[in-house]
Structures are given as C-alpha cells and as structure tokens.
C-alpha cells in the first residue's frame, strides 16, 4: 500500500506550534485522539518517546520520522507535521526539524513497519520534494505531492530527468476563439518524455484553462533550433503553491524533427550540468 493511501487530511498539520520534542510529539498525536483512532494520548506519547530515548529519529536535512509499535491501535497511522520555524529534535546534524512523518504501527508488524520507514526516508532524500512540502498550501496538496513523488507518471520512470532553468512559454488555444493564450514561466527539469514547469502566480494564471489533461504547446528559446524548441504536450498534474504553480507536462505527438531537437537540447543540458 502506498503512503498516500495511508494518509488522511485530518492527520496533516501544516503549522506546528511546539518548540520542544515532547510537546511536538503530543501535538502530532493530538489529531489521532481527536479522530478516535486511539484512546490514550499518554500510551502513544510514551511509545514514541521511549523509541526516541534509544536514539533520535531526526535524520537530518530538517526531517524527523518518529515512530513506534503499540497494541493500542489496529491499523497503521501516519501523521504529517510541518514547522516553519523548526523544532529542536536532537537531529544528527544538530539542525532544527521542519518536516515530521510520525508512524504508529500495530504490534508485531515489524516488516511492513520497516518498509514504511525506508520508503519515507527514500522520498525525503529529494531536496526538491522537501522544498515542495514546505511550500504546500493545504493538506490535500501535501497528500497529492506524496502521491506524485511515489507514483510518478510513466514517462518519468522511463526517462531520466535533468534539472534545467530556462524561460518557457505555454500556449493554449482560447475557447471558441482563434488566438492563443500565452503563459510565461520557467523550467525545473526535463526529459525525453516530459517537462516540469513553474508558473508564477498572478491574475492570468489563476485560470480554469490551466488544468489537468489540457493539451498545449511548450516553447523554449533555443538559438540553434530556429528561434524556439516547440513541443506539444498534455498537463498530467498541477500543484498549486503559495507563489506559483508546478505543472507536470507529458510530451505527445511530436514529429521526428522536434524529437531530434529535444534530444540535442537534453544532451546540452547534461553536458552543462
């Protein structure tokens, strides 16, 4: 079962107020009790803090994965917490913790429990993913981000992606009219199968035309390909953040010339990175 399938929006805390480890643990446990998934805050708190006494679960890079197994619950519970100012959690790198994934598993679930820990740890090694978690606006966005990261589009699995920062245009056909609607942003990464683009949030982009499954043209200024590298694509996911949108686009129906130009562009990106 995927992490995103285990998560509930009521168990996502976007603004932890605690400053100390013990208080943070209680704050993370509070929605479990409120939702009626466990009866005793004291039992869960003791289980988590007993595990912390054997070694901090703050693994560095502003991340902690407090966890425990207890007979007081029947199904695995995951609580996400975020602290903008950071909490002292005795991290291995001595830095405050901003992102928490608390895992509470039923007793005797050793193997699945360890697999969940490993999966979260692996996902959180990605700095871009951690940054996105820090800037997400809602509980739903947190869960969506996790789902995208652990179950990326097929093209993302098939083709390696490369970080690239270039100006970009998105061109959409306006409904019932002949002229195009143009949005301006910049690229985050690119592959032979697709591209991730960030669009600054302003009045023009707060628009119902920017939505999943919409087909569009991507134009990247590249001097050796006439004036632009022009590619057709389709939006496969959108993540709204505080100041911008991250948009995942899969390339579709491009001719051989465009595919060759894209391949050459990616080769240049690889060389310069």
Show which residues are catalytic: 67
CA 219 – CA 187 distance, rounded (Å): 11
- What's the full length of the chain, in residues? 273
Residue 99: phi, psi to the nearest 5? -120, 125
Looking at beta carbons, which pairs linking 141-146 to residues 24 or more positions away fall under 8 Å? 141/239, 141/240, 141/241, 142/7, 142/12, 142/14, 142/80, 142/82, 143/4, 143/7, 143/9, 143/12, 144/4, 144/237, 144/239, 145/239, 146/3, 146/4, 146/7
10 Å CB burial of residue 101 (0-12, 13-18, 19+) is: buried
H helices, E strands: number in the chain: 8, 13
CA 39 – CA 264 distance, rounded (Å): 60
Residues 6+ apart with CB under 8 A from 168: 184, 185, 186, 187, 195, 197, 218, 219, 220
- In order of 66, 129, 159, 179, 203, the CA distances from 25 in angstroms are 8, 23, 40, 55, 40
Tokens read off for 33: 């009790």
């Amino acid at each position: 079962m995927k992490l995103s399938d285990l998560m509930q929006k009521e168990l996502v805390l976007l603004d932890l107020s605690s400053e100390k480890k013990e208080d943070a643990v209680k704050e993370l446990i509070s929605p479990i009790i409120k939702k009626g998934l466990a009866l005793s805050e004291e039992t869960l708190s003791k289980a988590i803090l007993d595990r912390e006494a054997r070694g901090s679960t703050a693994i560095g890079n502003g991340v902690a994965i407090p966890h425990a197994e207890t007979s007081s619950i029947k199904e695995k519970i995951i609580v996400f917490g975020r602290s903008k100012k950071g909490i002292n959690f005795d991290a291995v790198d001595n830095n405050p913790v901003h992102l928490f994934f608390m895992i509470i598993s039923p007793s005797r679930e050793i193997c699945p429990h360890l697999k969940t820990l490993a999966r979260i740890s692996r996902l959180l090694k990605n700095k871009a993913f951690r940054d996105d978690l820090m800037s997400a606006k809602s509980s739903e966005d947190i869960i969506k981000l996790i789902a995208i990261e652990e179950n990326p589009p097929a093209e993302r699995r098939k083709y390696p992606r490369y970080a690239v920062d270039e100006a970009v245009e998105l061109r959409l056909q306006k409904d019932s009219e002949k002229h195009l609607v143009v949005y301006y942003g910049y690229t985050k990464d690119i592959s032979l199968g697709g591209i991730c683009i960030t669009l600054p949030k302003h009045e023009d982009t707060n628009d119902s035309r920017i939505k999943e499954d919409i087909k569009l043209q991507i134009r990247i200024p590249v001097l050796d390909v006439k004036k632009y590298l022009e590619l057709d694509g389709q939006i496969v996911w959108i993540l709204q953040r505080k100041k911008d949108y991250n948009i995942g686009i899969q390339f579709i129906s491009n001719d051989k010339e465009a595919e060759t130009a894209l391949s050459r562009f990616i080769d240049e990106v690889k060389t310069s990175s």
